[in-house]
Structure 1
Amino acid sequence: MTVPTVVGTQLAGRTDLPLLLCGPSLGTSVSALWSDAAQLLADDFHVVGWDLPGHGASPTTDEPFTMAELAAAVLGLGDKTLAERGEPAGTFAYAGDSLGGAVGLQLLLDAPGRVGSAVLISTGAKIGEAEGWTERAELVRSSGTPVMVAGSSQRWFAPGFIEREPAVAARLLHSLQDADRFGYARACEALAGFDARARLHEITTPVLAVTGEHDGVATPTMAGAIATGVQAGRAVVLPDVAHLAPAEAPADVAALVRGHARTALTLHDVRAAGTKVRREVLGDAHVDRAEAGTSAFTRDFQELITEYAWGSIWTRPGLDRRSRSLITLTALVARGHHEELAMHLRAAKTNGLTDDEIKELLLQTAIYCGVPDANTAFRIAQQVLDATPTEEDGR
C-alpha cells in the first residue's frame, strides 16, 4: 500500500473546538479554496485543511496511489492532529470538495467510526470516466498544469463570478498553475479508479451532499444519488454556484457545515442514549438478536425505534421506567399486540414491577380495555412469568 504524503494547514479556530478536516478539489490548494469559509467557522471548529500531493503545502509524488491510499493519508493526518490535541483515536467532522469529497466517501467506508459528520461538496460516488481521467493525466504530465487553466476557469465558476470576485478566482487559478504536474496526474489516475456507487449503502455516518446548480462536473443528480444511497443522507443545491462552492459561496457552505455537524451530533447522542436504554430494559440478548436479524430492508425501521422510542421517549425524565412499563403494557393489551406484550412483560420485570402489580394492571385492563383482551393478556403473562427467573430460585 502506497500512502502519499499530505500536509495539513491550520485554517481557523482554536484547538479546544471540535476538529473539522477540509479537503480540496483537484488543482486547488486547500488554503485558496477553503480560507474564506474557514474563517466563518472559526467560532465552531478547529479547521484544518489538507493538500493533495504536489498541491499547496504537500510534497509531490510520481508514485501511483489509489483513493483508499489517499484517504489513509488523510486519516493519518487526522490521527496526528487529534493526538496533538490530546484526543488520540478521536472523531472529527469532514468537509471536502470534488476529489476532496470523494476522499470523504472513502473515509466513511474505510474508517466509519472516525468521522462524525460529512459534508461532501460537488462530488460523486463516481466522477467522470476512467478514460477521460487517464487522458488528462497524460496531457498534464507532458504539458504541465497551466494547460488546464482555461478549461478550469469555465468549469469551476458560475457565470459572472470571475467578474464579481476577480481576486478569489485569481487565487484559485494561480493555485492550479502552481500545482506540480506529476502530483496532479497521479490524482487524476486515482479518480480514474474510484467508484463507490455499489457501496454507498454501507455508509452510516450522516452525510450532506452539496452541489451548485451550475456544476457540470458533479451535477445535482450525482449529489442526490449520494444522499439517497447512504443510510442517512440529504442533498442541497446552491443557486448561482458551480464547482467550487467553498470559495464561491463561503457563507452558505459554512452555515451548511455548521448545521449538519450539529444535527449529526444530536442524532448520534440520541441514538447512543436509545441503544443504552433499550439494552437496559430489554436485555443484551434481545437487542443482539434484533441487530443480528436486521437487513438492509429493516435497518431504517430499527434505527427509527432506537432513536424515537428508546432515545426520545424512554430517556425522558418525566416518568420513571416502572411507570413507563405500566403505560406500555396497558397500550399493548388494548391494541392486541401480543408479541410485543410478551417482550414488554419481561421488560416490566426488569424495570421492577412485581407479579402482583402486573396482575393488578391486567385486572384494570379487563374493565377499561375489555375482558377478551385481558383474558389473552393473562394467558401470555402467565407464560412469561412462569419462565422468568426469580430472586428466590437463585437463577
Structure 2
Amino acid sequence: MLTATTLSDAPGCPLLILGSSVGTSVETLWPAAVGRLYGRYHVVGFDLPGHGRSAPASEPFTIGDLAREVVALADRIRPDTSFLYAGDSIGGAIGLQLLLDFPERVSAAALLCTGARIGEPAMWRERAALVRAGGVEPVVAGSRERWFAPGTDPAVTEPLIGALRATDPESYARACEALALFDVRDRLPEIAAPVLAVAGALDGPTPPDGVALIASTVLAGRLVVLENVAHLAPAESPEVVAFLLDQHFDESRRAGITVRREVLGPAHVDRATAATTAFTRDFQDLITRYAWGEIWTRDGLARRDRSLITLTALIALGHHDELAMHVRAARTNGLSVDEIKEVILQTAIYCGVPAANTAFRIAQQVLAEEPR
C-alpha cells in the first residue's frame, strides 16, 4: 500500500494527488511548489514502495499496479469521486496509466519530466542489478548529474539526494523493473482528459521530445518547456510549476490560457509563462483569468471584432509593445492587411495623426515579418 502525506489540508477544495520520481519522496520533491498554490487544493502526495514514508515492496509491481494503488488511496480520501493528478518522472508514467485505466477518475493531469516510455528496458534492468548488488550509493553521483541543472542551489539538491540515500534498494530496483516494462506510446490517442506536459530543456532521462509526444498525441494536450530545468521541475522551478498547475487545474484559468494561446500564439504565451516569477505571477494570473478567461471568451463579439477594438485602444493609449503583439493577433483572428490599415487610418482622425504615424510604422514592421 502506498503511504499518503497531506501537503495542503483543504478538504473543501479540489483533491490534487501528487506522485514523485524514483529515488525521491513527496516531502522532498513537492513542498516548494505546493506552498505556492495558495491553498486552492487539498493536496495529498504518495511515496513509491520503499521511498519516503512507504513500506518496502514485498513483491514485484508494475506501473499499472501503482495506478490501482493511487485510485485506492483516492477512495480512502473521497470515495468514487474524480481528482486532479500531477506526477514527475515515474509519477508522470503513473499518471498516464491512470488516464488510460481509470479515465473517469482523473479530471485533469499534469505530467512533468516523463514519457510514454522512459529510457530503454536494458538500462533499467542494469540499474536494478547495480542497486541490488551495491545499494543505492553507486547511483547517487549519476542521479545528481541527471536530476539537476548546473548551478542548482544545494538547498534544493541535498534533501533530494538524502531521500535517494534513504530509499530501500530492493524497492528502487523493482521501480526500475516496472519502468523497463512500461510503454504506452501506442495508447496515447485514447486519453481524452486535459493534459499539461511539462519538460525540462536540460532533462536527459526524459528529454523534451518525449514529453512533446505526449502533448501532441493525447486529445487535449499542452506542452511547456522550462529553460534551465532538468529532471525534477517541481523542486527546480517551483514558482513556475505551481503557476502552470493553477492554470491547468482551474477551469476558468484553463479556458483563459487556451484562448490566449490561440490568439497570441503558443510560443509567445508559453515563454511568458515560463518566465513567471513570484513578483509577476499574480499579474500573469490576472491577465489569464480575467482578460482572456472572462472577456475574450464571451460570445457577444467575434474575436476579429475584439481585435479591432483592442488595436484602437492600444493606438490611442500609445502602448506600442502591446500593439505589435496585437497586430499579429489580429491577423490570427482573421483581419486582412487592408482592414488593419483602415483601423489605423480611422485612429488618425479620432486619436491623432502622431499616434497613427507610430502605429503605421509598428504595423508595417510586424506585417513585413509575415511569411509570404
- TM-score (ref. length: structure 1): 0.64
Cα displacement string for residues 173-204 of structure 1 (whole angstroms, at most 9, x for unaligned residues): 00000000011011001000000000000000
Matched with 1:22 is 18
Cα displacement string for residues 321-367 of structure 1 (whole angstroms, at most 9, x for unaligned residues): xxxxxxxxxxxxxxxxxxxxxxxxxxxxxxxxxxxxxxxxxxxxxxx
- TM-score (ref. length: structure 2): 0.67
Matched, 1:213 2:209: no
Matched with 2:184 is 196
Contact kept, 8 Å, 1:93 with 1:118, in 2: the verdict is yes
Q: Deviation of residue 263 (structure 1)?
A: 3.6
Q: 1:71 & 1:312 partners in 2: Cα distance? A: 39
Q: Describe the SS at the equivalent of 1:40.
A: coil
Q: 2:116 & 2:40 partners in 1: Cα distance? A: 29
Matched with 2:133 is 142
Q: 1:25 & 1:187 partners in 2: Cα distance? A: 10
Matched, 1:125 2:116: yes
Q: 2:87 & 2:36 partners in 1: Cα distance? A: 16
Which amino acid in the other structure matches residue 217 of structure 1? Answer: P
Moved over 6 A (4+): 264-267
Over aligned residue pairs, what C-alpha RMSD do you find? 1.7
Q: 2:159 & 2:201 partners in 1: Cα distance? A: 23
Which amino acid in the other structure matches residue 135 of structure 1? Answer: E
Q: Describe the SS at the equivalent of 1:44.
A: coil
Which of 87, 95, 98 does residue 89 from structure 2 map onto? 98
Distance 1:60 1:151, change over 3 A: same
Which amino acid in the other structure matches residue 134 of structure 2? Answer: S
Contact kept, 8 Å, 1:18 with 1:44, in 2: the verdict is yes
Q: 1:197 & 1:312 partners in 2: Cα distance? A: 37
Which residues of structure 1 form unaligned runs of 5+?
83-87, 268-310, 314-395
Q: Deviation of residue 31 (structure 1)?
A: 0.6
Q: 2:237 & 2:97 partners in 1: Cα distance? A: 25
Cα displacement string for residues 109-135 of structure 1 (whole angstroms, at most 9, x for unaligned residues): 000011111000000000001111011
Larger radius of gyration: 1
Matched with 1:369 is none
Q: Deviation of residue 265 (structure 1)?
A: 8.6
Q: Describe the SS at the equivalent of 1:160.
A: coil
Moved more, 35-44 or 151-160: 35-44
Contact kept, 8 Å, 2:248 with 2:254, in 1: the verdict is no
Q: 2:174 & 2:77 partners in 1: Cα distance? A: 26
Matches within 5 A, 1:1-395: 5-82=1-78, 88-161=79-152, 165-263=153-251
Q: Describe the SS at the equivalent of 1:73.
A: helix
Q: What percent of counterpart residues are identical?
A: 52
Q: 2:18 & 2:62 partners in 1: Cα distance? A: 19
Cα displacement string for residues 265-305 of structure 1 (whole angstroms, at most 9, x for unaligned residues): 966xxxxxxxxxxxxxxxxxxxxxxxxxxxxxxxxxxxxxx
Matched with 1:287 is none
The count of residues paired between Structure 1 and Structure 2 equals 259
Q: 1:158 & 1:266 partners in 2: Cα distance? A: 29
